[in-house]
Amino acid sequence: MRRWMMAALCLCLGADASGQNGRVLFEGGTVFTVAGEGAGEIERGHVLVRGGVIEAVGEGDAPEELREGATVVDCSGKTLMPGMVDTHSHLGGIGGADGTGPIQPGVRVMDSINVRSSGFRRALAGGLTTLNIMPGSGHLSSGRTIYVKLRFFPETETQPAGPRTIRDVFILGDDRRPMGGLKMANGTNSIRDSAGFPGTRAKSAFLVREQFIKAQEYAAKWDAWNAKAEEGDDPGAPPARDLHLETFVDAMNGDIVVHHHTHRHDDIITVLRLAEEFGFRVVLHHVSEAWKVADEIASFEGVPGPDGEPWGAPCSVILVDSPGGKLEAIDLIYETGGVLEKAGARVAMHTDDWITDSRLFNRMAALAVRAGMSREAAIRSLTIEGARMLDLADRVGSLEAGKDADLVVMSGDPLSVYTKIEQTWVEGVKVFDRSDPEDLFYAQGGYGAGQDIDPYFCCYDHLMKGGAQ
Amino acid sequence: MRLLTAFAALFVSSAATPQDADLLVYGEVVYTMEGGELNAIEDGVVYIEDGVIQAVGPADGTQIPKKAMETRRAAVVVPGLIDPRSTAGLTGIYNQPQDQDIIETSKPIQPELRALDAYNGRDELVGFLRAKGVTTLHTGHAAGEAMSGQLFVVKTREGSVGESVLVETSAVSATLAPSALNSGGKGPGTRAKLAMILRDELIDAQEYKAKVDAWQAKKDAFDAHTPAEGESEPDESAPKDPGDPPSRNLRLEALASVLSGDVPLLVTANRAQDIDTALRLADEFGFTLWLDSGAEAYLVAEELRAAGVPVFLHPTMARPWGDMQNMSWTTAGRLADAGLTVMTQSGYEGYVPKVRVVLFEAAIAAVNGWGFERALAGLTITPARVLGIDDRVGSIEIGKDGDLALYDGDPFEYTTRCVGTVIEGVVVSDGE
């Protein structure tokens, strides 16, 4: 059933792939460029795309010279916004660290992902184009995350449609290596009655500090060996590599961002204390109680970011429909986004899929608006703010010339329940089209559309039985 | 924040004296839902006296007594929302053993457990739902054991159950789904075995019921018999005193009321094959079947319609995995199109969100083919009729309970806020 559908689907997508080489012009609709400070709303604008990159964005219709040979996507009465960026997803049947220990930063989630998981089709239906896929919950550090672009290839004579391997969705950094961050957690998430795991918050912080200090010593050893080698001396055998410590060193060097699960106000402050001590760049994830310490978060400077400005303590917020379900989310409120915005903190949203559904990512921002966040900040929280948290703000998250041509065409207001996501484009290729019955199938669900591989969390059974999480 | 909520609650309950159960509510639009239709009244008014609706109509032209009383205004006024299948009040916010009463895992079959005896009307999640406009819950034991217990119907006002109860035993919850296999109560290991133990139990109940009915018939005959005048010899044919009744068995008693049709069996099933098993059992034992969850109900809509089974559809935003992996956002609309009675529900959740908001679940179904009117009916008059409480709640009509939900816009819109919840004329929440 599923194989047949995939085959049928790629026939349609194949026909749409013209945008890859030619020009595609989106015009006639409201455009949220999300460039600059606000949401960059243009009442009637156009976006011209060529070779997977945005060539021009402007008001009104495109000038004649740009229209030449372009395939026009009529967006009259519709809304155009950047492909959405999800800073925290568990799609792809992921698995990270296992139950053997609380700190396993060397484990890479990229080694566990099934790129054919139906969840990715739902993410495209939700207008998501860039994801930070994280290893699962329940550890102080459960491993390296991976930043992916939801590319979707047409069928060929020898290959079915879609991404074929994890390599097809990598986002490569300047060093040509796949980009990603490091997942960490504190609070009750990683406290458990199991050998080696912490039983208290103080023990959690101690275990993490102990490993970071080991990583400092490990880095010093390597620095000394490298210095010797550079000076032309015989440095002897290199120090033994340690994948876990190596990852912590990457974080302390600022090469990767720490994505830190943290809910309770005191846990949030603990994260900031550790970030200060070890100089890593951090994104605070979930932050159910950030509203209690919004000023502390907003005024935190931290180490310099890639642009030389203080990295700060950006927050990636999740709103679930009700508070509770676990002790650290008792005081979760819809107001968090708005309170952080007013305090001056940076705010993105995330699905935490499967916690919330990727098809409804825009709904979360709308719930934040329901409780006081500005519409502009809400639209930014779905796009550019997340891009910045993944070091991708120069490539995705806004509609600006030179950036990746990742766009979403919607039927109306991005924050309305009545709005449908009609098209999703990644790097100039249409990867979701609601008018295509097979895409609609994944957008709505139905027989064969569901999750084919469940994510692995070490504490998963425990969670679903409603235990003391 | 929670302190504030507690404070507000104190304030509200102190106002809940009978003479305060008079209220005047103006709405830019009032949807009465009478007869299952919106019946939109522009610039409408609802007048509640002593907790009961006394007038509803256009503000201009509706007779309202001239006296001082509390007045509320809102953009949209609808009947207080009914959550057709919930675990609120049994699924505490903390998710710690001491506040989790949705499932008893000591045995697979325990229909004798009453939700009434577990419900905590002061749980914060009940308050959370109240602040979203939910005034009535059909709540109780979750799926997850072959027969997990009873449900009941209760108003969401804060406090002990008491006068808030509308129906003491509204349904018995049974499960024909993988969650009942190898469950905490050492449930059966396969689907076939699960069906067998349910049949076994229902057959026990048939025998128990036959025994009780036979005794009752004898007792009735004995009580009805009066010896003829002047007869001195004992009449051999006269009914005998049947003696003590058979000893009571609460488990079989609960099932006997299912078999007699007094209490429906709310069967959780998602796969089409499991739904079919539920229909087969209903045929065999003649009980009233209500389908719970029903992720694949669209595959057997015709069979469900023919059997007259109402569907308490899973939360629209449930996760599409396990035996729900084939669920669709369009199911409510498709079932309604096929002529079925359908309602969305908030369901049961072991983790987060610990309770779902049935209004939100209905909204997603509404915009995926169910439509505004049918979705709003699914939150009000439809469950009221199915649950047999439509003489009290479910629509804004004279003589019904003064239960209202007030919104500052389209109730289904993401950014709309609830601005007031009224139970029997008392403002029990100022909303969000």
pLDDT value of residue B13: 43
pLDDT value of residue B1: 43
Tell me how close the Cα of A55 comes to any Cα of chain B, in angstroms: 34
User: What's the CATH number for A2-464?
Assistant: 3.20.20.140
pLDDT value of residue A66: 86
Q: Which residues of A touch B124 (CB under 8 A)?
A: 323-324
The predicted-structure confidence for A183-225, as pLDDT tens digits, reads as follows: 999 999 999 998 899 999 999 999 999 999 999 999 999 999 9
DSSP string, B47-96: EEETTEEEEEEETTT-----S--EEEEEEEEEEPEEEEEE-TTTB-TT-S
- 3-class state of residue A152 by DSSP: coil
Q: Which residue does chain B place closest to A335, by CA atoms?
A: B432
Tell me how close the Cα of B242 comes to any Cα of chain A, in angstroms: 49
For β-strands B418-423 and B426-429, DSSP reports them as: antiparallel
Q: Which residues of B touch A369 (CB under 8 A)?
A: 414-415
Q: Largest Cα–Cα distance of chain B, in whole Å?
A: 84
Choose, out of A288, A321, A420, A465, the residue to mutate when testing the contact with B (most B CBs < 10 Å): A321
For β-strands A315-317 and A347-349, DSSP reports them as: parallel
Yes or no: say if B29 and B41 are a contact pair by the CB < 8 Å rule.
Answer: yes
Q: Which residues of B touch A416 (CB under 8 A)?
A: 413-415
Tell the residue number behind the tokens 């050893």, with chain if given.
A221
pLDDT value of residue A121: 95
Q: Which residues of B touch A291 (CB under 8 A)?
A: 1
Contact of A451 with chain B, judged by CB distance below 8 Å, is answered with: yes
Tell the residue number behind the tokens 């590599």, with chain if given.
A241
Q: Largest Cα–Cα distance of chain A, in whole Å?
A: 70
Are A446 and B326 an interchain contact pair (Cβ–Cβ within 8 Å)? yes
Domains of chain B, start order: 2-79+419-429 (2.30.40.10), 81-201+249-382 (3.20.20.140)
Choose, out of A417, A440, A460, the residue to mutate when testing the contact with B (most B CBs < 10 Å): A417
pLDDT value of residue B360: 98
The predicted-structure confidence for B104-123, as pLDDT tens digits, reads as follows: 999 999 999 999 999 999 99
Q: Which two tokens stand for residue B30?
A: 């009032």
User: Model confidence at A136, in pLDDT bands (50, 70, 90)?
Assistant: confident
Q: Which residues of A touch B184 (CB under 8 A)?
A: 465
Q: Which two tokens stand for residue B246?
A: 């058979």
Tell me how close the Cα of B213 comes to any Cα of chain A, in angstroms: 41
The predicted-structure confidence for A103-134, as pLDDT tens digits, reads as follows: 999 999 999 999 999 999 999 999 999 999 99
Tell me how close the Cα of A182 comes to any Cα of chain B, in angstroms: 24
Residue A449 identity: A
pLDDT value of residue A450: 84
pLDDT value of residue A464: 43
What's the mean pLDDT in B119-141? 98
Yes or no: say if B314 and B281 are a contact pair by the CB < 8 Å rule.
Answer: no
E-strand ranges in A214-320 read 258-262, 282-286, 315-317
User: Model confidence at B232, in pLDDT bands (50, 70, 90)?
Assistant: low
Tell me how close the Cα of B415 comes to any Cα of chain A, in angstroms: 4
Q: Which residues of B touch A92 (CB under 8 A)?
A: none
Q: Which residue does chain B place closest to A459, by CA atoms?
A: B351
Contact of A445 with chain B, judged by CB distance below 8 Å, is answered with: yes
Tell me how close the Cα of A200 comes to any Cα of chain B, in angstroms: 17
Choose the weakest-confidence range: A54-63, A376-385, A455-464, B379-388: A455-464
Choose, out of B83, B90, B95, B418, the residue to mutate when testing the contact with A (most A CBs < 10 Å): B95
d(CA A351, CA B368): 21
* Sequence-distant (≥ 6) Cβ neighbours of residue B247 within 8 angstroms: none
Contact of A331 with chain B, judged by CB distance below 8 Å, is answered with: yes
Contact of A465 with chain B, judged by CB distance below 8 Å, is answered with: yes
What's the mean pLDDT in B179-194? 94
Radius of gyration of chain A (CA): 22
Q: Which residues of A touch B318 (CB under 8 A)?
A: none
Yes or no: say if B350 and B393 are a contact pair by the CB < 8 Å rule.
Answer: no
User: Model confidence at B231, in pLDDT bands (50, 70, 90)?
Assistant: low
The predicted-structure confidence for B260-292, as pLDDT tens digits, reads as follows: 999 999 999 999 999 999 999 999 999 999 999
pLDDT value of residue B237: 83
d(CA A180, CA A134): 9
pLDDT value of residue B11: 42
pLDDT value of residue B14: 41
Q: What is the dihedral of CA B1, B5, B8, B13, to 10 degrees?
A: -170
pLDDT at residue A461 above 60?
no
d(CA B428, CA B126): 12
User: Model confidence at A155, in pLDDT bands (50, 70, 90)?
Assistant: confident
Q: How far apart are the first and last CA of chain A?
A: 38
pLDDT value of residue A452: 63
Domain ranges across chain A:
2-464
d(CA B171, CA B264): 5
Counted across chains A and B, CB pairs separated by less than 8 A come out at: 136
d(CA B203, CA B208): 9
Least CB–CB distance from B414: residue in A325, A329, A417? A417
Least CB–CB distance from B326: residue in A325, A450, A466? A450
Are B351 and A330 an interchain contact pair (Cβ–Cβ within 8 Å)? no
The total number of residues written for chain B in this structure: 432
Least CB–CB distance from A325: residue in B95, B364, B412? B95
Are B93 and A371 an interchain contact pair (Cβ–Cβ within 8 Å)? no
